[in-house]
Amino acid sequence: MLDVEGLALTPADRDLLREPAVGGVILFSRNYESPDQVADLVAEIRALRSPPLLIAVDHEGGRVQRFREGFSRIPAMRHLGIEYDSDPESATVLARQCGWLIGSELRAAGIDLCFAPCIDLDWGVSEVIGDRAFHRDPDIVADLAAAFSRGLRSAGMAAVAKHFPGHGAVVADSHLTLPVDRREYGDVLDDMRPYERLIGNGQVAGVMLAHVVYNEMDDLPAGFSSYWIGRELRSRIGFDGAVFCDDLSMKATEAYGSMRQRAKRALDAGCDMVLVCNDRRRAEQAAQALGDYSNPLSLVRLARLHGTGHVLRESLRASELWQQANSAISRWTERPELELNA
């Protein structure tokens, strides 16, 4: 899965996206100007290949919401956790509405997939996770993430939980360096409990791995680790959906070879799709080097992630469901104690 340069496809984008090893596109803020523009860009991408490429975005709410003007403002998930502490029923309803609103608005633009929910535990040490986490309590995280995922699914979008087995207990930011989590296995089990519940209940179709080393269990980052993918996620937890390796351009992966070598490591460890973002030269190298790679089971898993149903944006915004969800979240986010810009 790769990115594209701007608001419309360039000839270089088109050539790259036609490479057989490319299976999807992830969009960023630079690819967004308005709902109509991004819908046109998505249609351009979709027309390039048959079957079409998977189109995704990070749009989980709070500071990780790529499209803003023309889309509903979604709060950071921590605020749902705060609400849960005082009113679990209200927080669960709001979580479902957030998921539905995100999914519905993205599906109206033709986007298949949002990399959400983030179900890392809030251990109070990770700035890169921070308010993206629902809560510290794994059971509360599971409750809210399940409601959020039900909302996504009812909008025609699959849920992709991240960052397995958990990114919330390390200070370092994997965008900038390689974090090492030195906890013992029994401590990391807490981080995996939300995955166990969501996967056990069939509520997530994808999982994204953390670029974190858990050195008591394995010397490799989770995205390159057959221990975490094969033994823990597939065998012990029983996950049979799509596994994503987070962006291989992140600094955490630099010690593990060329971009081609990193991509091959992740695929060999059991990932179904790898992301290479914001580095066109190395993305081209990886796509060309992996041109003959094929995994039929991965193709089946990834095919399940294509969005279903489609509604025109105007019809969506005129619907009673959209108006109710947007009004509920707007009233809630306007409460001064939430401090959404903090």
How far apart are the C-alpha atoms of 80 and 329, rounded to whole Å? 11
Q: How do 242-245 and 273-274 pair as beta strands? A: parallel
The answer to whether 211 is a known catalytic residue is: no
CA neighbours closer than 13 Å in the CB half-sphere of residue 239: 33
Catalytic residue among 131, 246, 247, 272: 246
How far apart are the C-alpha atoms of 179 and 167, rounded to whole Å? 9
Q: Tell me which residue has tokens 């937890």.
A: 237
CA neighbours closer than 13 Å in the CB half-sphere of residue 80: 36
Q: How far apart are the first and last CA of the chain?
A: 32
- Which 8-state DSSP code applies to residue 172? S
Here the tokens at position 192 are 């995996």
The answer to whether 59 is a known catalytic residue is: no
Sequence-ordered strand ranges (E) for 196-238: 206-209, 213-214
How far apart are the C-alpha atoms of 155 and 116, rounded to whole Å? 14
Residues 27 and 55: beta-carbon distance below 8 Å: yes
Q: 170 — alpha (psi -120 to 50), left (phi > 0) or beta? A: beta
How far apart are the C-alpha atoms of 50 and 196, rounded to whole Å? 35
CA neighbours closer than 13 Å in the CB half-sphere of residue 243: 28
How big is the CA angle at 145 (ends 141 and 151), to the nearest 5 degrees? 155
Here the tokens at position 45 are 């991408």
- What per-residue string of b and e applies to 291-304 under the rule 16 or more CB within 10 Å gives b? eeeeeeebeebbee
- C-alpha distances in Å from residue 121, one per residue of 73, 77, 163: 23, 11, 10
* Torsions phi, psi for 64 (to 5 deg): -110, 75
Catalytic residue among 15, 36, 85, 175: 175
Active site members? 175, 246
